[in-house]
Amino acid sequence: MNTTTSPGNLFSRLLPGEAKAYAHQWFFTAACIHALLIIPLTILARYGYGPVILVMPTGHAFEMLFGLIPALIAGYLLGPMPARRLAWFMGFWLLARTADLTAPFTWSALIFNALFVTLLARQLLPRLWAAKKWRNRSLVPLLGVIFALAVASILASQLNASLLHRYLIDESVQLFALLMLFIGGRMLAPAVAGEFYRQGIELTARVQPNIEAGLILTITAAYILSPVAAPLSGILLISSGILAGIRLLRWQLWRCRARPDLLCLGLGYSWLILGLILLGWAKLNDNNYFSIVVHAITIGALGTLATNVIVRVTLLHIKQYPSHIMLITVMTGFMSIAAITRMAANLSNHQEILLIAAASGWSIAFLLAFYVVLKGLTTPRTKPARTSAADTRQSVSDPTPANESESDPQTS
């Protein structure tokens, strides 16, 4: 049986009654618009024409980490639900973003951010806790701490604890890196295994649970030890980067040259590896280079993985295959340019030019992702007779993307 969604009244049909809505359609659209607006606004703010929060030392970082990433988490993990319930999530996220930009780090921003992350935690954490393996259950405390930091960092600012406020935001980068390592690995492993399967080869190193456990332990320890033993924390971060590098090498992505979509995901994972090593090195040097190296994670890794995940989930939802879309390569290239130029800006005499180049690369990459999202919203979707993987989220015991329909059936 084939059913289609009319492009003209897609969202208008979602709210009545108990109509089903897909979280990725709503939140990936919002995330792309947020990403497209926030960087140009940051550039304007440098010249006195943008929101005050974006020129504050921690304001830009807060909005990128605790504004953009929770929207991506919601889009990736919430799955289908009644549209009215999803509207509450979207409403509080929009109110939080509005409060942050108009009244940064005030009680209104605290309340709306707290309401959004509380709703998100209540929806996601019990489901994730049902996982049988401790590695999968580790997502629960990880997401819980991230959600709590969104509130704690605003509260610290309200209490005039500026050092604590800065510390909470800066150190949260390690937790976001761990989250990307976890989800990125769970996305890459089955997709690469599926490509190997088509080539008649078996990929023996898939999720690699021992290495994944090592990543969880080393980054967690680095985060805990950071305030009391920064050099040891740095060594642990470098170790985690090496472990992630070994994991990536064992996936043998060079055998997937015909799959640029997988190579682009691998590049995002590579930015994570580089970022962790550089972040560890910065800690060994009293964080003197933190403002430079952190962008390997926040632009190189986050930007690359976010745009690729948005495009991948959108295309698979409408039964199209990312391997056929060369736009992914262009998008990923612009994001790498953005990361390189942003890191170079702090070391160059041409800082303003490089910052504009970085902002342009970021915005172009997300504009291309936004184009795919809009195309996905206006493309009729064919449903098979039985419920497909695109309709339901993967079992919490293996939180890979629900609509990774290209993966090897044996890896499900």
Per-residue model confidence as pLDDT tens digits over 257-268 = 889 999 999 999
pLDDT bin (cut points 50, 70, 90) of residue 18 is: low
Q: What angle do CA 401, 255, 394 make, to 5 degrees?
A: 10
Containing 80, the helix (H) or strand (E) segment is strand 80-82
Per-residue model confidence as pLDDT tens digits over 87-123 = 999 999 999 999 999 988 899 999 999 999 999 999 9
Q: Residue 288, exposed/middle/buried by CB under 10 A (0-12, 13-18, 19+)?
A: exposed
Distance of alpha carbon 380 from alpha carbon 391, whole angstroms: 15
As a whole number of Å, the CA-based R_g of the chain is 20
pLDDT bin (cut points 50, 70, 90) of residue 12 is: very low
pLDDT bin (cut points 50, 70, 90) of residue 269 is: very high
In this structure, what token pair is assigned to residue 45? 């703010």
Contact 151, 117 (CB under 8 A): yes
pLDDT bin (cut points 50, 70, 90) of residue 204 is: confident
Residue 105 phi, psi (nearest 5): 60, 35
Containing 70, the helix (H) or strand (E) segment is helix 69-77
Distance of alpha carbon 151 from alpha carbon 4, whole angstroms: 41
Contact 71, 117 (CB under 8 A): no
